[in-house]
Amino acid sequence: MTDKSALKVAVIGGGIFGVSTAVHLARLGAQVTLVTDGPVANGASSRSLAWLNSARKRSAAYHELRMAGLERYRKLADGQDCGAWLRLDGGLTWDADDASNQIADIFRHEQAIGYQTQLLAPGDIAAVTPGIDAKAVTPQGAIFNAGEGWVDLSSLIGLLLREFRVRGGHVLSDAGPADVILTNGRASGVRTASGRVLDADAVVVATGSGVPGMAAKVGRRIGDGTTRALLVVSEPVPHPLRAVLNTPRVAIRPTPNGAFALDSAWSEDEVIVRDDGTYEARPSTIARLLDEASKVLEGNPALALESHHIGPKPIPADGEPVIGQLTGIPGYHVVFSHSGATLGLIAGELLADEIVSGTPSPLLESFRPARFDC
């Protein structure tokens, strides 16, 4: 597809993956329509902790992709006034005080791969990053990763959408579920819930937890490990915390308005999935999560609930991203991953370049949907 100005692409999904891919396609000269089932940024992106990192252990290829993702955020911070909603003030992690504690091993691993890392005793943390109650840190200490941070995804998506529209992109929001149209074995467009048809040379499916089901409709399997997400947001409270915290009972990041966003594995496990597919969070779960956050914050501030966000958390079955064209279906591309915030900018950039240039990206080689074909 060498005539970029004539290339028409439909992108299904209004989260960070869909919007990022759409704007990168528009930058490359494609004619792009973004189709969303509801409001933009109303799905998984609305309930993501949005911790920007490549901490702990993962495959070498995944680490390389995440590091490229972090670099794109540094580039964005250098060129945009986004200091209120994009912060790279580091991340602090500690484990439980039991046999599962891996802090020393993780520190050695991060040192070996050249990741920015410091192992801090509880009493040394305040000199490096503020806002933590040292009494809450386990005796094995905590790891501080200076290159990490957080992003407010709704703000980022808003920024990207404004550019998308300036570049001539079209947004069709609240269109309900959309299906990919195949003609002679290749993707040829999108059909919305109302029956409207959008012709396209290529389609990108970025519908979060909906990606495996959409692929199944055309006979392709994508391993699905999707689970439940619960993001709790406190009311604003004056506090010096800047880093993202990942602790045994709660993960915390600041928000642009001075509140805290919180999640944890145990609270997500307590989310109720009803028979009709809707989700419910118990008030007791939310109250305990707010209490756990207070325990690790300097001064143990009382935290009140502002809002909570629940729904599916998209996770591929093997934990690694799924990005690229479905096997044997030209023009049908997907992006499906857990780490949407960290990968949001880089995944959209690389996938858009593949679609326009026709040249596969080496950075995405390990993450093709084809690995689930057998």
In a structure prediction context, what are the per-residue pLDDT tens digits for the chain, which is 374 residues long? 445 558 999 999 999 999 999 999 999 999 999 999 999 999 999 999 999 999 999 999 999 999 999 999 999 999 999 999 999 999 999 999 999 999 999 999 999 999 999 999 999 999 999 999 999 999 999 999 999 999 999 999 999 999 999 999 999 999 999 999 999 999 999 999 999 999 999 999 999 999 999 999 999 999 999 999 999 999 999 999 999 999 999 999 999 999 999 999 999 999 999 999 999 999 999 999 999 999 999 999 999 999 999 999 999 999 999 999 999 999 999 999 999 999 999 999 999 999 999 999 999 999 999 999 97
Kindly state the tokens that stand for 15: 């989260």
Largest Cα–Cα distance in the chain? 66
Beta bridge partners of 338: none
Q: Residue 374: what pLDDT?
A: 74
Q: Residue 1: what pLDDT?
A: 43
Rounded Cα gap, residues 110 and 102, in angstroms: 12
Residue whose C-alpha is closest to residue 333's, from 349, 319, 306, 354: 354
CA angle 117, 51, 89 (to 5 degrees): 55
Kindly state the tokens that stand for 80: 């945009």
Rounded Cα gap, residues 182 and 188, in angstroms: 5
Q: Residue 46: what pLDDT?
A: 96
CA 59 to chain centre: 18
Q: Residue 280: what pLDDT?
A: 97
Pinpoint the alpha helices (H) of the chain: 16-27, 60-79, 103-112, 153-166, 211-217, 265-269, 283-296, 340-357
Kindly state the tokens that stand for 146: 């200076």
Rounded Cα gap, residues 324 and 280, in angstroms: 33
Who contacts 81 (Cβ-Cβ below 8 Å, separation ≥6)?
none
Give the chain's domains with CATH numbers.
4-46+153-222+318-372 (3.50.50.60), 87-148+225-313 (3.30.9.10)
